[in-house]
Amino acid sequence: MRPPSIAYPVLIADIGGTNCRLSIVEDPDRPHRHLARIGTGSFMTAEEAFESVVATLPQRPLSALLAVAGPLEGRTAQLTNASWSFDGPRIAEALGLRQGLLVNDFEALAASLAVLRPGDVETLIAGEPEAGGVRLVLGPGTGFGASALLTHGERGFLIPTECGHIGLGPEDPAEQRIWPALMAKEPRVTVETLLSGDGLVRLHKAVAATSGMLEPDVSAADISRLALDGNPAALMTAVCFWRLLARVAGDLALAFKATGGVFIAGGIAPHLMPLADRATIRSVFTGKPPMEELMARIPLHVVTAQDAAEQGLAAIAAHLQRFGLDDPKRLWFG
């Protein structure tokens, strides 16, 4: 029996809680071409959003690969931080597709680790990566996601997770000072509670309140801008954010024994790169007694490419077997 393959052209979509990025891949040997960026609140359904773009193309896609920021249930998915839901057969019928595949958004990012170019990442800790070692991608955006890429020879496997919903507590005096303010509004503090767009806002409010500063309500984008401008509360927030992100990245690196490297993705970290204190990040990331020697060997990078998920989706479309997605029983529809 021939292994399943994708029919081209392929519509690929990176669908987060705030925005959906749509691209087209005309054939396996050509790079994806960006089509549109759509707010997930601008259309009632994903099908309506997709059709608004597909209708403008000279040739309609025959397949779709959709990366969704939420857990998958069989052939369906629901965005965690927005209202769109996804049903494979329904989408295939609406768009006239032959076939398609739903993946978690961080599965797509994990697949991108096999194809990212050197200029697509910035290294925080060089480490000593192990050839064939587990590679882990994680990061804050509208929410917080994580996924791993395991390889064995020419074959790989993508491991999606819901690590954003793991509980998180204070570890140092600075965190202990702000934690009561956080728990006053959030009885259960999770990774996503703090390491996300809304999390940056929560941190800013807690930092300002415990430091006696009167700060107006501002967005995550405002906090990043203010921090870069030297605003004290925003700057303290960014420092706290990086420490927490380095701590969680180190903990998850241990959980997966990610000797191939840890990659921070998402929309927030690249904007805050000028405020990344590499010495502190290294100290927090590797400071995991009694595993300091192992942690010192694990590289830590930031993915700076805006189209990383789309690169991963295009790679999946071209090489299903390479990522363990050649089983037609998984999420194929149409």
Residues 6+ apart with CB under 8 A from 279: none
pLDDT digits (tens, 9 = 90+) for 28-45: 888 999 999 999 889 999
Written as one string, the DSSP assignment of 155-176 is EEEEEE--GGGSB----SHHHH
For the chain, the average pLDDT equals: 91
pLDDT of residue 130: 95
Class assignment of domain 10-110?
A: alpha beta
Q: In this predicted structure, what is the pLDDT of residue 4? A: 66
Q: pLDDT tens digits for 279-325?
A: 999 999 999 999 999 999 999 999 999 999 999 999 999 988 888 88
Q: What pLDDT shows up at residue 316?
A: 93
The whole-number pLDDT of residue 41 equals 85
Residues 117-304, CATH architecture: 3-Layer(aba) Sandwich (3.40)
pLDDT tens-digit series, residues 252-273 = 999 999 999 999 999 899 999 9
CA distances from 98 to 10, 106, 187, 197 (A): 10, 25, 46, 37
Query: Which amino acid appears at position 126 of this protein?
Result: A
- Which pTM value belongs to this model? 0.92
Q: Are 54 and 11 in contact (CB under 8 A)?
A: yes
Q: How confident is the model at residue 46 (pLDDT cuts 50, 70, 90)?
A: very high
Query: Which tokens is 137 given?
Result: 């991608």
Q: Which of 94, 111, 110 is nearest to 147 (CA)?
A: 110
148-164 pLDDT, tens digit per residue, is 999 887 788 999 899 99
Between CA 200 and CA 195 the distance in angstroms is 7
Cβ atoms of residues 70 and 147 within 8 Å: no
Quick check: helix, strand or coil at residue 35?
strand
pLDDT of residue 311: 96
pLDDT tops 70 at residue 235: yes
pLDDT band of residue 76 (cuts 50, 70, 90) is: confident
Domain range list for the chain: 10-110, 117-304
Instruction: Give residue 1's pLDDT.
Output: 47
- Mean predicted confidence (pLDDT) in 10-27: 93
